[in-house]
Structure 1
């Protein structure tokens, strides 16, 4: 005999089938496929980052000289690794009150945002007018008139230096769009868009370190990605010439020992062993004697005197037919 205690009625089967249909409708795998535009996801601009970081290193060196007149001493400035972040994420980490300067860098699209800590501005003002700059940071909600003036000078000098560094990639012309003290009003890009954050840490002689952030919209960097990529492989750019000039300047200060050989007489071993004070060794001085540096002849000259001192007048540079 068959046990029907576990059998389902027709109504129960219908209810289960209805519930199963509702679950399949909610399953995303059973939903109608939607069109997706490949490449719409924002990607890390790999070609831009190495160039930005190299420009950041140059910017850090220039910031030392830029800040020195305000700080009365040359601070230590380091460039952090450039980070790609959502704008809302960066903005959420900032204090309620700070200096925000929005500039356009034509023809670069999207502008650039310069963010400076207010405590750093206050310390610079204190030092500039004879203070120590070591006072504890306050809780100010706005800049004083003096701080505003110094901040304007500082940001204008900073963006001018930034334009000078960007000239390695392409000439840009900075123009101030607005100054704000609240990140809610700093409309560089939409919250969900990505920005490249170039951060500089400034360690003064006194007081705690401060930071200056320079933000670029990733979309504007992608528009010049070809120039950024090409610049990384260009050995003839401004940075390369500047490096060569600095290297040449450093090498020009290196001192080398130079000597001249008047004669090379030949002596036998027996004659050498019999030498004693008063002996005379005959020599013949050639018309031109060599000038040796590190054992290598670099010039030929004539022996003479100048102001009562023996001297060598250069007649010929080795490897050249030029006579002096």
Structure 2
């Protein structure tokens, strides 16, 4: 060894060994590398799921109006609970052939996928042209020209209803990106990425068969508006339209209520009541403050006086109970 090479002293060696011992005694999992799968972190719970489900309930009502012209009657539409799954898991359960429309809701990030069963399209075409909604025999492999036209009209009406409901949270403008009939070409997100699935079960009148409409949102896109969704969830009106609330407030402000005041409440016996005759005097004492009652509930107290030759009540104090409800 070269003479210029420095060596550790005994104290330094003891200190080094002590440090290694302390490191071994630490939590063994604190510095251990853990496997990480891309996209896995996105599966954390979404606090805005209740808001999405409320939006689904509102959208179900709108879908009844949208599908009615095609079904020639108002159908029954039920919104299922919103679920979050990986896109590949949802795609694996779908048939090889179906109606897939990919839209972009500006300015939200990502796209929205509308998925409609082909049998439902076929039955709608039959009822639209006066039939009973009988399913076409055989397994559909492609849409006819008539069915393609109905798919275009129905998809545009559906995405219009989606945009209308979403505009109550964030104004959006839908734009068609593509239409496909094979889920392998529906490039909404990567296979491992999670999506929120809003499923609607549609049953036209006089039919036992139920059609399914799926609306898929990328979870990554929903994260960007999670604050707005939560804000609307905790709003007193739920996800109600602000314009509707303004109109309701204006309408309620014109409603007229009967207001009255009670000057005194004398007590008399039944015998005195039976002996009452014109000219009798019932002594009363008027308090300094009398209540103002609206719909039988006290809203304020005031003093009796006169204004312009008419009896009047001067408000001294407004009660809080009426305003809190």
SS in 2 for 1:108: coil
Report the Cα distance in structure 1 between the residues aligned to 2:274 and 2:34, rounded to whole angstroms. 101
**Structure-1 residue corresponding to 2:76:** 76
- Please tell me whether the aligned partners of residues 106 and 174 of structure 2 are also in contact (alpha carbons under 8 angstroms): yes
Deviation at 1:243, TM superposition (A): 7.8
Deviation at 1:168, TM superposition (A): 1.7
Q: Deviations over 1:237-296 (max 9, x none)?
A: 761658869999xx9xxxxxxxxxxxxxxx99789989xxxxx999xxxxxxxxxx9879
SS in 2 for 1:110: coil
In structure 2, the CA distance between the partners of 1:71 and 1:247, relative to structure 1 (3 Å rule), is: farther
Question: TM-score by structure 2 length?
Answer: 0.64
Unaligned runs of 5+ in 2: 1-27, 253-267, 280-293, 298-312, 316-325
- Please tell me whether the aligned partners of residues 39 and 192 of structure 2 are also in contact (alpha carbons under 8 angstroms): no
SS in 1 for 2:199: strand
**Structure-2 residue corresponding to 1:41:** 40
Deviation at 1:51, TM superposition (A): 1.6
Report the Cα distance in structure 2 between the residues aligned to 1:273 and 1:94, rounded to whole angstroms. 84
Is 1:218–2:219 an aligned residue pair? Answer: yes
**Structure-2 residue corresponding to 1:305:** none
In structure 2, the CA distance between the partners of 1:295 and 1:133, relative to structure 1 (3 Å rule), is: same
In structure 2, the CA distance between the partners of 1:35 and 1:181, relative to structure 1 (3 Å rule), is: same
**Structure-2 residue corresponding to 1:185:** 185
Question: TM-score by structure 1 length?
Answer: 0.64
Map 1:110-121; keep pairs closer than 5 Å. Answer: 110-121=110-121
Report the Cα distance in structure 2 between the residues aligned to 1:235 and 1:199, rounded to whole angstroms. 26
- Please tell me whether the aligned partners of residues 111 and 217 of structure 1 are also in contact (alpha carbons under 8 angstroms): yes
**Structure-2 residue corresponding to 1:173:** 173
In structure 2, the CA distance between the partners of 1:52 and 1:270, relative to structure 1 (3 Å rule), is: closer
Map 1:189-208; keep pairs closer than 5 Å. Answer: 189-207=189-207, 208=209
Deviation at 1:226, TM superposition (A): 2.0
Deviation at 1:47, TM superposition (A): 2.0
Report the Cα distance in structure 2 between the residues aligned to 1:146 and 1:241, rounded to whole angstroms. 40
In structure 2, the CA distance between the partners of 1:118 and 1:35, relative to structure 1 (3 Å rule), is: closer
Report the Cα distance in structure 1 between the residues aligned to 2:138 and 2:314, rounded to whole angstroms. 69
In structure 2, the CA distance between the partners of 1:236 and 1:79, relative to structure 1 (3 Å rule), is: closer
**Structure-2 residue corresponding to 1:18:** none
In structure 2, the CA distance between the partners of 1:205 and 1:245, relative to structure 1 (3 Å rule), is: farther
Deviation at 1:140, TM superposition (A): 1.7
Q: Deviations over 1:280-319 (max 9, x none)?
A: 999xxxxxxxxxx9879xxxxxxxxxxxxxxxxxxxxx99
Deviation at 1:45, TM superposition (A): 4.1
- Please tell me whether the aligned partners of residues 101 and 113 of structure 2 are also in contact (alpha carbons under 8 angstroms): yes
- Please tell me whether the aligned partners of residues 96 and 183 of structure 1 are also in contact (alpha carbons under 8 angstroms): yes
In structure 2, the CA distance between the partners of 1:273 and 1:53, relative to structure 1 (3 Å rule), is: closer
- Please tell me whether the aligned partners of residues 94 and 183 of structure 2 are also in contact (alpha carbons under 8 angstroms): yes
**Structure-1 residue corresponding to 2:94:** 94
Report the Cα distance in structure 2 between the residues aligned to 1:270 and 1:190, rounded to whole angstroms. 89
**Structure-1 residue corresponding to 2:240:** 239
- Please tell me whether the aligned partners of residues 232 and 239 of structure 2 are also in contact (alpha carbons under 8 angstroms): no
Report the Cα distance in structure 2 between the residues aligned to 1:78 and 1:165, rounded to whole angstroms. 16
Deviation at 1:150, TM superposition (A): 1.1
SS in 1 for 2:240: helix
In structure 2, the CA distance between the partners of 1:227 and 1:137, relative to structure 1 (3 Å rule), is: farther
- Please tell me whether the aligned partners of residues 119 and 137 of structure 1 are also in contact (alpha carbons under 8 angstroms): no
In structure 2, the CA distance between the partners of 1:295 and 1:109, relative to structure 1 (3 Å rule), is: closer
SS in 2 for 1:50: helix
